[in-house]
Structure 1
Amino acid sequence: MGSLAFIPHNAHRVDVDGRAMLMHVPTTSLFEMDEVSRSVLDLFRRVGVADADLLRAELGHRFAPEDLTQCLQGLVTLDILRDAGQPDRPLSIQKVEDVPLSTIILNVNTGCNLACTYCYKEDLTTPAKGERMDFATARSAIELLLAQAAGRDKVNVVFFGGEPLSNMPLIRQVVDYTETRVAELGKAVDFSLTTNATLLTEEIVDWLDAHRVGVTVSMDGPRALHDRNRRTVGGRGTYDVVATKVRMLLSRYSARPVGARVTLTAGVTDVIAIHDHLKNDLGFAEVGFGPATSGPIAVFNLKGDMLKGVFEDMKTLGRRYVEAAIRGESIGFSNMHQLLSDIAQGMKKAVPCGAGLGLLAVDKGGDLHLCHRFVGSNQPTYGNVTTGIDVPKLAAFVEGAQDRSSFGCKTCRIRSICAGGCYHESYARQGDPFAPVYHYCELLRDWVDFGIESYVRILAANPSFFRHHLEPRRATQ
């Protein structure tokens, strides 16, 4: 054996209740280390490079030669150890030759009846000035989706806005048309939308239920917190009407679990109180939090200690999640669901999300955007529903997104989970969709470590939790 070098950015150790867990960074796979592997890695962390003589001198008196050899071979296979003379392996860029869509997002109306102070939508306007998508455009978008998803058994159609329910006639037309088309093709379809809930009626709720349209409600917690930012165009708080509509929705709609989506901003950061109100008082199945850090009005963005405090509160809620999971219960904390799902599946991402690969968004004129967040922005579009996807242009973006080594992502321990972070957040904050979300990179690393600890504890105490709670959730998404 020649000299072996330690590749520290491919291995991350997390100790959990006396168990030494090794995350293989390139694949996010988790391994529990035995005494041999712990000792070998401790040695390499200390010296960096070791040959057979050093290994025998340091560890030969403690472990059998065959055990050391087997351990070294395993670490070499994982590229945690590498021949000291071997150069660094070049980044492998996955070429994009086609766009096998699974999801299309229809921006059905730029108008919204609310004027939420932190809204990121650059094309947002009042209801009277809203520009609605027409059925011809929507139909072409569905046909594009079905053509690009020829090899898929299921497609997803998402209605977005503005407030999507302000163009309910189009939503009905699209659902009817798509249900007919997928039946002809032997496929399945999943519909979903995010709404501020103010336009819900019993008739609309019953229709959504009958067609199994997934519903997420944007709501920011109890009245005092919700009404700080989520107001009408005239400036009135909307908590009372939203809470009333939500109770009606939850009493009539049973097709799928209904989740709440919370935007955390300066002054709206009480994660525990918000979760408890939305989950326990109003009855949402899940509550998910999105910290605002790059909105158009800086005063609402979370910075420094505020952002750190939010992550600490999310970990506090996460500990409650773990305690409940060990009892076989779920407290409906979406961020923990997603984190644990990524860890349980050994999530390996070359890009941060499916934008531009499995997913595209359509504006009122039929132009194709990376995702709904970019609709109305000055970022490039990638074709049109009538002319098709500009595959070379989109491929250049996605292939470029895979290499963020110039930003330092190459050696980050969560690079296969984060992959640089949200394109739109980077664009909105730094003007570059490829720039990492540096403002909370360290907080995200700590959040992933917390997820690993939580996963190991649940797995040790109640492994059936994942089968009973995470797998059914993925099936309904």
Structure 2
Amino acid sequence: MTGLVTLQPLTFAPPPASPPKFHLLAGEPRLAFLVDGSRLFEIDPTFYGDLASGDPDAGRSLLEVAGIAPIPADPAERLSPPTSLSLNIAQACNLTCSYCYADEGRFGGRAELMSEEVAFAAVDRLLAGARGKSVTVGFIGGEPLLNRPVLHATVAYACDRARERRQPVRFSITTNATLVNASDIELFRRHAFGISVSLDGSEAVNDANRRAHDGTSAWAAAVERLTPLLDDPGGVKLAARSTVTHANLRILERIDALSAVGFAEIGVAPVRTSPMPGLALRENDWPRLLAEFVRAGDAEFGRVSQGLPLRFSNLATALKQIHHGSARRLPCGAGANYLSVSTSGEYFACHRTIGDARFRMGASESDGARERFLSARDVDRQPLCSSCWARYLCGGGCHAEVVASGRSGCDYIRGWLEYCLRFYDRLIRIHPDFFEHPAQSMVATL
């Protein structure tokens, strides 16, 4: 059996004061990661010592000898009109989750449902601004299925308007799945929805933090409602998203439990801020979380070496970024190609920032709100990020989380990305064509 990919012992330390050109993987004298363009190279081991010395001439010489051309950080047309929009059609929820950042979808206000008028106007603005490009309309909350009539009507409206414009349109939804019915499943299949289901793992793990108001099992309800899609997804892209708290950092067990139910793709996200004390991760949790990620990654490598697909989407996404050479200056599309709309029709940088004036994106493309926001969040303008070797793989971290809790967990992120670089090197040696088969590599975009 092919050996597992394991991390060398990490020494957590702040990044150097000046932006590094290379990152050398400890114990791997044949590998050098070029920060510019996020590219991994196999090098002559004799170069390793020169690069490790920090001599800038050594770095320049390596680039010249290898004929490696610089790749500028991705300027991506960030001020082009968005091509993706999430509609918070229900700022309300039928569950009470202990770690919910959105106050059961109310975002500190009262429970509200979006009207057809607001939803249709947002779709019109999205299609018009995208000027013929493919667009994605997402539905989120709260729990969007609490506003089922507007969800179904908006899909029909978007399809009609997109057809008139000869413009492709796709759909996604983030849901707890406890309210899914047969008409929803028919809609999801007919339009090949991307579905992100909020489930934390086994029934016991999930229901410890994700509770139904009537005391019944949220896990059991979700799995029962989803069974037709889990058995026969059709064109639907179905993924589970698990939230990790201080109380339970186990990762592999979550992946195994959700995989056993029928999910082919599972992602996890740590709690950085929480309304309930004790659930957010603490500083001494990050090394433990990294160890859990590595344990899950090692299990995935064992699967891949046997010809099985990846399940762990955090790993799959990082590998895809490495393979394609990420040069991103932002962590996501928030405020750039993606915006989120509140029930009242206001635009915000993303669905996590509804109601927060710091993330309000203005009523028109000409008021400069997006430009100011993106300029301020550029990874090269962040004091701690600009000198980090992983900055163009990371992009600077979730805007909402950074504003709320600072840059906790940066060593964990660097450790995880270094692990992914090692994983990638080993992976392409046993499966050189791995990324030529999307179904096998399992990197989904919802």
Bucket of the pairwise TM-score, normalised by the shorter protein: 0.7 to 0.9
What's the secondary structure of 2:147's corresponding residue? Answer: helix
The 1:272–1:345 alpha-carbon spacing in structure 2 relative to 1, beyond 3 Å, is same
What's the secondary structure of 2:169's corresponding residue? Answer: strand
| Residue 352 (structure 2) pairs with residue 373 (structure 1) | yes
The 1:383–1:325 alpha-carbon spacing in structure 2 relative to 1, beyond 3 Å, is same
Q: How does 1:149-298 map to 2 (within 5 A)?
A: 149-152=130-133, 154-280=134-260, 282-298=261-277
| Residue 25 (structure 2) pairs with residue 14 (structure 1) | yes
The whole-number CA distance in structure 1 between the counterparts of 2:131 and 2:262 is 39
- Which residue is equivalent to 1:146? 127
Whether the 8 Å CA contact 2:193–2:237 is kept in 1: the answer is: no
C-alpha displacement of 1:242 = 2.1
C-alpha displacement of 1:393 = 1.9
Amino acid at match of 1:10: K
C-alpha displacement of 1:125 = 4.1
The whole-number CA distance in structure 2 between the counterparts of 1:28 and 1:49 is 18
| Residue 40 (structure 2) pairs with residue 30 (structure 1) | yes
Whether the 8 Å CA contact 2:83–2:337 is kept in 1: the answer is: yes
Whether the 8 Å CA contact 1:93–1:403 is kept in 2: the answer is: no
The 1:250–1:93 alpha-carbon spacing in structure 2 relative to 1, beyond 3 Å, is closer
Of residues 102, 106, 125 in structure 1, which corresponds to 2:87?
106
C-alpha displacement of 1:379 = 2.4
The 1:73–1:367 alpha-carbon spacing in structure 2 relative to 1, beyond 3 Å, is same
Amino acid at match of 1:398: L
C-alpha displacement of 1:168 = 0.9
The whole-number CA distance in structure 2 between the counterparts of 1:475 and 1:248 is 21
C-alpha displacement of 1:222 = 1.1
The whole-number CA distance in structure 2 between the counterparts of 1:278 and 1:47 is 45
C-alpha displacement of 1:247 = 2.2
C-alpha displacement of 1:77 = 6.6
Q: How does 1:89-128 map to 2 (within 5 A)?
A: 98-122=79-103, 124-125=105-106
- Which residue is equivalent to 1:317? 296
Amino acid at match of 1:461: I
More displaced 10-residue stretch of structure 1: 231-240 or 412-421: 231-240
The whole-number CA distance in structure 1 between the counterparts of 2:382 and 2:169 is 40
- Which structure features the higher share of helix residues? 1
Of residues 113, 125, 134 in structure 2, which corresponds to 1:132?
113
The whole-number CA distance in structure 2 between the counterparts of 1:447 and 1:426 is 18
Of residues 426, 429, 438 in structure 2, which corresponds to 1:460?
429
The whole-number CA distance in structure 1 between the counterparts of 2:60 and 2:195 is 54
Amino acid at match of 1:28: S
What's the secondary structure of 1:420's corresponding residue? Answer: coil
C-alpha displacement of 1:409 = 1.4
Amino acid at match of 2:146: S
| Residue 51 (structure 2) pairs with residue 48 (structure 1) | no
Larger Rg: 1
Amino acid at match of 1:250: L
C-alpha displacement of 1:240 = 2.1
Of residues 421, 424, 448 in structure 1, which corresponds to 2:397?
421
Q: How many residues are aligned here?
A: 428
C-alpha displacement of 1:298 = 3.4
What's the secondary structure of 1:416's corresponding residue? Answer: helix
The 1:96–1:427 alpha-carbon spacing in structure 2 relative to 1, beyond 3 Å, is same
Whether the 8 Å CA contact 1:103–1:155 is kept in 2: the answer is: yes
The 1:444–1:365 alpha-carbon spacing in structure 2 relative to 1, beyond 3 Å, is same
Q: How does 1:73-84 map to 2 (within 5 A)?
A: 73-74=64-65
Whether the 8 Å CA contact 2:313–2:442 is kept in 1: the answer is: no
Whether the 8 Å CA contact 2:20–2:387 is kept in 1: the answer is: yes
Among the aligned pairs, what percent are the same residue? 28
What's the secondary structure of 1:299's corresponding residue? Answer: coil
TM-score under structure 2 length normalisation: 0.87
What's the secondary structure of 2:273's corresponding residue? Answer: coil
Amino acid at match of 1:14: L
What's the secondary structure of 1:263's corresponding residue? Answer: strand
Of residues 396, 405, 424 in structure 1, which corresponds to 2:372?
396
C-alpha displacement of 1:236 = 4.7
Whether the 8 Å CA contact 2:24–2:52 is kept in 1: the answer is: no
**Runs of 5+ consecutive residues of structure 1 not aligned to the other structure:** 1-6, 56-67, 81-90, 431-436
C-alpha displacement of 1:303 = 1.5
The 1:378–1:235 alpha-carbon spacing in structure 2 relative to 1, beyond 3 Å, is farther
Whether the 8 Å CA contact 1:351–1:401 is kept in 2: the answer is: yes
| Residue 374 (structure 2) pairs with residue 383 (structure 1) | no
Whether the 8 Å CA contact 1:123–1:375 is kept in 2: the answer is: no
What's the secondary structure of 2:25's corresponding residue? Answer: strand
C-alpha displacement of 1:312 = 1.1
Whether the 8 Å CA contact 2:348–2:361 is kept in 1: the answer is: yes
Amino acid at match of 2:36: P
The whole-number CA distance in structure 1 between the counterparts of 2:386 and 2:138 is 33
After superposition, what is the alpha-carbon deviation per residue over 1:298-355, rounded to whole angstroms, capped at 9, x for unaligned? 3111123333222211111111212222332114111111110111110111111111
C-alpha displacement of 1:365 = 1.2
TM-score under structure 1 length normalisation: 0.82
C-alpha displacement of 1:246 = 2.7
- Which residue is equivalent to 2:6? none
The whole-number CA distance in structure 2 between the counterparts of 1:69 and 1:263 is 43
C-alpha displacement of 1:198 = 0.8
C-alpha displacement of 1:227 = 1.0
| Residue 342 (structure 2) pairs with residue 363 (structure 1) | yes
C-alpha displacement of 1:209 = 1.2
- Which residue is equivalent to 1:88? none
After superposition, what is the alpha-carbon deviation per residue over 1:177-222, rounded to whole angstroms, capped at 9, x for unaligned? 1111112222211101011111011232122212222212111111
Whether the 8 Å CA contact 2:87–2:139 is kept in 1: the answer is: yes
The whole-number CA distance in structure 1 between the counterparts of 2:272 and 2:78 is 34
| Residue 420 (structure 2) pairs with residue 451 (structure 1) | yes
Whether the 8 Å CA contact 1:296–1:428 is kept in 2: the answer is: no
Whether the 8 Å CA contact 1:202–1:249 is kept in 2: the answer is: no
Whether the 8 Å CA contact 2:265–2:311 is kept in 1: the answer is: yes
CA RMSD of aligned residues (A): 2.9
The whole-number CA distance in structure 1 between the counterparts of 2:41 and 2:346 is 45
| Residue 328 (structure 2) pairs with residue 349 (structure 1) | yes
The whole-number CA distance in structure 1 between the counterparts of 2:194 and 2:54 is 54
